[in-house]
Amino acid sequence: MKGVISGLLSICLLAAFSIPKAEAAEKEKMKLAEQSHSAILMEQDSGSVLFEKNSHEKLPPASMTKIMTMILIMEAIDKGKISWNDKIRVSEYAASMGGSQIFLEPGEEMRVEDMVKGIAIGSANDASVAMAEHIAGSAESFVNMMNNKAKELGLNDTFFKNPTGLPAAGHYTSAHDMAIMSKELLKHEEVTKFTGLYEDYLREESEKKFWLVNTNRLVKFYPGVDGLKTGFTNEAKYCLTATANKNGMRVIAVVMGAPSPKERNAQVTSMLDYAFTQFSTKKLYDRHEIVKEVKVQKAEKSKLPVVTSENISLLLKKGETAKKVKTEVNVDKDLKLPVKKGQQIGSLKIYNGDKLITESPVLASETVKKASWWKLFKRTAGQMSKSS
């Protein structure tokens, strides 16, 4: 009996002194974002959550609101509704915005590129409202667009009252939803040309030259950080949605309700360190890469290339190897014509072994219209002659 007890004690002691690395990493992870109200850490391509704390709690986002504002600006550019060189005329209402601003004057005209620079680097409220009015006709209509986009992205913790993040009753989001918005914004890779700048100038050739310094200091002090947006109000406290790219892996870290800028930055730094030391990614597809060709009945073109909507990667713990990776592309049956370029027409599923790890929309690579009866007749006649 003594021998049995002694053996059991030995096993217990061995277990106590040989904690698996995964368990140690898990304990370390629990120490993240201790001085914030809520937080989340997400890998960009897969959308995998690496850490979260109160991530669905509805809180005021302050100027992190502008991430959604920038999404709609980038979409308007992609759709050709506006261009980088368009000049935006500033209304009296836009010029009247308080808080962070680039001191736009009523009637002043500024290019879209400079407006975006003012929003991304300087968190300019006046530029945000000027862009909102130009895209939607009014700030109110733009806010409707923001909320519709939130619904489209499945954001259940979010409701906007303005495009700036200035305090307003009923204006809220969550750390989780901020990460999803950031993931969407980062599909427009050119946005990091602005969010990743530490400093720049507006109106350089005029007497009103204006120096911009990024409110996100990690852009300068943490290697790989190239965005995205800070926020502060007395109600929201100090907030930050940051993104960093190292060795081909991009992560998004969100902190809400930190007590000071120093603490906010320290917490995000720790989260980024955790992501890059514990995980890696294996790139599978680039954004807009062709994954399949499908036949479209009665269309001008009989085949339509199907493309990815975003970069797709496999997330791995450091030291882990990928199992048998399988890809499954499902395209909607009986596509109704016309099919528009960029229209979601199905989904791409990625499996690691038997485990589904990613499901992402796939898009039409081009616009396909219905064929004329004459074209259909010639196609049918050609097929008949080949078969005979």
- What would the pLDDT profile of 257-314 be if each residue is shown by its tens digit? 999 999 999 999 999 999 999 999 989 999 999 999 988 877 678 789 999 999 999 8
Q: The whole model's pTM is what?
A: 0.84
Q: Indicate whether 215 and 304 sit together in one domain.
A: no
Whether residue 282 is annotated as binding a ligand: the answer is no
Identify the pLDDT of residue 295: 87
Number of domains into which the chain is organized: 2
Average pLDDT over residues 79-99: 96
List residues with catalytic annotation. 63, 66, 123
pLDDT grade for 380, boundaries at 50, 70 and 90: low
Q: Give percent of the chain with pLDDT exceeding 70.
A: 88
Identify the pLDDT of residue 135: 98
Show the domain range for 355: 286-373
Instruction: Look over the chain and give the mean of its residue pLDDT values, rounded to a whole number.
Output: 89
Report yes or no on 11 lying in a domain: no
3-class SS letters over the chain:
CHHHHHHHHHHHHHHHCCCCHHHHHHHHHCCCCCCCCEEEEEECCCCCEEEEECCCCCECCHHHHHHHHHHHHHHHHHCCCCCCCCEEECCHHHHCCCCCCCCCCCCCEEEHHHHHHHHHHHCCHHHHHHHHHHHHCCHHHHHHHHHHHHHHCCCCCCECCCCCCCCCCCCEECHHHHHHHHHHHCCCHHHHHHHCCCEEEECCCCCCCEEEECCCCHHHHCCCEEEEEEEEECCCEEEEEEEEEECCEEEEEEEEEECCHHHHHHHHHHHHHHHHHHEEEEEEECCCCEEEEEECCCECCCEEEEEECCCEEEEEECCCCCCCEEEEEEECCCCCCCECCCCEEEEEEEEECCEEEEEEEEEECCCECECCHHHHHHHHHHHHHHHC
Average pLDDT over residues 91-108: 96
Q: Indicate whether 173 and 147 sit together in one domain.
A: yes
Instruction: Examine the pLDDT at 83 and tell me if it is beyond 90.
Output: yes
Q: Indicate whether 214 and 352 sit together in one domain.
A: no
Average pLDDT over residues 361-385: 73
Q: Indicate whether 113 and 233 sit together in one domain.
A: yes
Instruction: Examine the pLDDT at 165 and tell me if it is beyond 70.
Output: yes
pLDDT grade for 5, boundaries at 50, 70 and 90: very low
Report yes or no on 385 lying in a domain: no
